[in-house]
């Protein structure tokens, strides 16, 4: 690795322009830029999930997703470099925004005396025709790692080259941090649009690692009422909130992707919605937005019991909303666009005289009560319970039992 031709300023400029339209940062475009600006020709980007499971890799040879015969499967259990990277990242709670260099020299980790005969060397020799590596770790729990290689003839990385890679790490990490800030700003804006369309008054938005990315004053007031004045100091995007796991945990992964999770705490109803940002490399970044409403709000609803006609499609959308599906899940169910669903929802709200999903629930319930009124059917509402974090039952909502009376 030579110092000639190194141009950090051009690298930053290229990455800044790229992030405006890029769907993901760590890609073949990044490898091309590293080669062009730093002379790093032999590199591979490996992708993992936040639990450390391999997803795919991108190298100068192309992209290869995980599959039954993927070469990495042969080394995964013996990859001491990756295993150390993951353990340390979890210990240090590594995120997108850490820019302190994290370099791992393979010969030092495996051991100089064992290196030549190690499974790791055989693996990179067979797949990349290289002999030595230095790996840079990025992202949540180091779910992205960039490995640079040198051949046996070139020899191992020198101290001067390691120092240069430390500098390059900082260039990459800062560019990635800027990319994630830009990306998260767009995601938060999209989520806020959905919240505003739903008519909810109190909300906050989080990532899956207990950081609050956005909130409004009404939500803070509700949280202070529940948790005390100190809660305001915990709401920030830098440090995880200790009380968020109580709201976010306890739902099956697949169910959480499609449905709204409800928590009833004292006099407040929390509804947790899920937004998944997926990437072609297999990584999924999960976000949540949480709305808060008071249980007593239903008493002040002024909804006409006169049946308001909905089109068949609008009625189906309304029923899917009542069952807890998010806008995107409804779009998937009906095979229409997200924006089409939003338009249907706006029409439904207008026709039903409501301005939130919760009010729509009540309208649909009252409409059903009208249909069964006088038919010998009585509804009895009972509290439902769910087990949260294995700590026993918590009241989580209501279900109803219909009791039929005999005419005889």
Question: How much is the pLDDT for 272?
Answer: 85
Per residue in 341-359, pLDDT (tens digit) is 888 988 888 888 877 776 7
- Contacts of residues 387-396 at CB distance under 8 Å and 24 or more positions apart, as own/partner, are 387/250, 388/246, 388/249, 388/250, 388/263, 389/245, 389/246, 389/249, 389/250, 394/263, 394/264, 395/264, 396/262, 396/263, 396/264
Does the pLDDT of residue 87 top 90, yes or no? yes
Mean pLDDT over all residues of the chain? 81
Region 6-10 average pLDDT: 75
Does the pLDDT of residue 305 top 60, yes or no? no
Per residue in 372-383, pLDDT (tens digit) is 664 544 343 333
User: At a CB cut-off of 8 Å and minimum separation 6, what does 55 contact?
Assistant: 47, 48, 49, 65, 66, 281, 282, 283
Percentage of the chain beyond pLDDT 90 is 38
Does the pLDDT of residue 69 top 90, yes or no? yes
pLDDT band at 297 (very low <50, low <70, confident <90, very high): low
pLDDT band at 405 (very low <50, low <70, confident <90, very high): very low
- Tokens coding 105: 């020299």
pLDDT band at 394 (very low <50, low <70, confident <90, very high): very low
Higher pLDDT, 5 or 248: 248
Give the pTM: 0.70
Region 253-273 average pLDDT: 71
Per residue in 166-179, pLDDT (tens digit) is 999 999 999 999 99
Question: How much is the pLDDT for 241?
Answer: 81
Domains of the chain: 8-180 (3.30.450.40), 181-373 (1.10.10.10)
Region 220-244 average pLDDT: 80
Q: Helix 159-198 and helix 28-38: axis angle, to 10°?
A: 140
d(CA 305, CA 323): 21
CA-nearest of 52, 283, 79, 43 to 168 is 43
Per residue in 17-34, pLDDT (tens digit) is 877 777 889 999 999 999
On the CB side of 369, CA atoms within 13 Å amount to: 14
């Amino acid at each position: 690795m030579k110092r000639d031709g190194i141009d950090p300023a051009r690298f930053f400029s290229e990455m800044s322009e790229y992030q405006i339209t890029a769907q993901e940062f760590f890609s073949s475009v990044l490898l091309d830029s590293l080669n062009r600006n730093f002379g790093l020709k032999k590199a591979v980007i490996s992708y993992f999930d936040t639990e450390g499971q391999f997803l795919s890799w991108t190298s100068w040879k192309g992209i290869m997703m995980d599959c039954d015969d993927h070469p990495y499967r042969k080394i995964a259990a013996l990859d001491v470099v990756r295993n150390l990277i993951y353990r340390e990242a979890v210990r240090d709670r590594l995120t997108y925004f850490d820019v302190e260099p994290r370099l791992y020299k393979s010969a030092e980790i495996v051991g100089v005396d064992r290196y030549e005969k190690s499974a790791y060397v055989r693996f990179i020799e067979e797949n990349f025709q290289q002999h030595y590596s230095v790996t840079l770790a990025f992202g949540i729990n180091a779910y992205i790692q960039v490995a640079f290689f040198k051949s046996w003839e070139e020899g191992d990385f020198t101290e001067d080259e390691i120092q240069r890679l430390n500098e390059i790490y900082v260039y990459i990490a800062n560019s990635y941090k800027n990319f994630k800030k830009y990306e998260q700003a767009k995601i938060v804006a999209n989520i806020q649009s959905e919240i505003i369309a739903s008519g909810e008054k109190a909300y906050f938005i989080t990532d899956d690692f207990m950081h609050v990315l956005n909130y409004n004053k009404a939500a803070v007031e509700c949280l202070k009422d529940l948790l005390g004045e100190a809660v305001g100091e915990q709401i920030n995007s830098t440090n995880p909130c200790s009380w968020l796991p109580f709201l976010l945990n306890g739902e099956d992964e697949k169910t959480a992707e499609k449905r709204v999770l409800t928590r009833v705490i004292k006099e407040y109803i929390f509804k947790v919605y899920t937004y998944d940002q997926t990437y072609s490399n297999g990584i999924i970044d999960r976000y949540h937005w949480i709305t808060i409403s008071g249980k007593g709000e239903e008493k002040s609803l002024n909804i006409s019991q006169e049946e308001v006609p909905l089109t068949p499609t609008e009625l189906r959308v309304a029923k899917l909303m009542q069952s807890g599906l998010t806008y995107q899940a409804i779009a998937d169910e009906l095979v229409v666009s997200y924006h089409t669903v939003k338009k249907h929802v706006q029409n439904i709200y207008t026709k039903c005289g409501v301005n939130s999903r919760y009010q729509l629930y009540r309208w649909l319930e009252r409409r059903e009560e009208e249909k069964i009124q006088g038919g010998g059917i009585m509804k009895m509402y009972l509290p439902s319970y769910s087990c949260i974090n294995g700590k026993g039952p918590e009241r989580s909502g209501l279900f109803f039992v219909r009791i039929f009376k005999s005419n005889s």
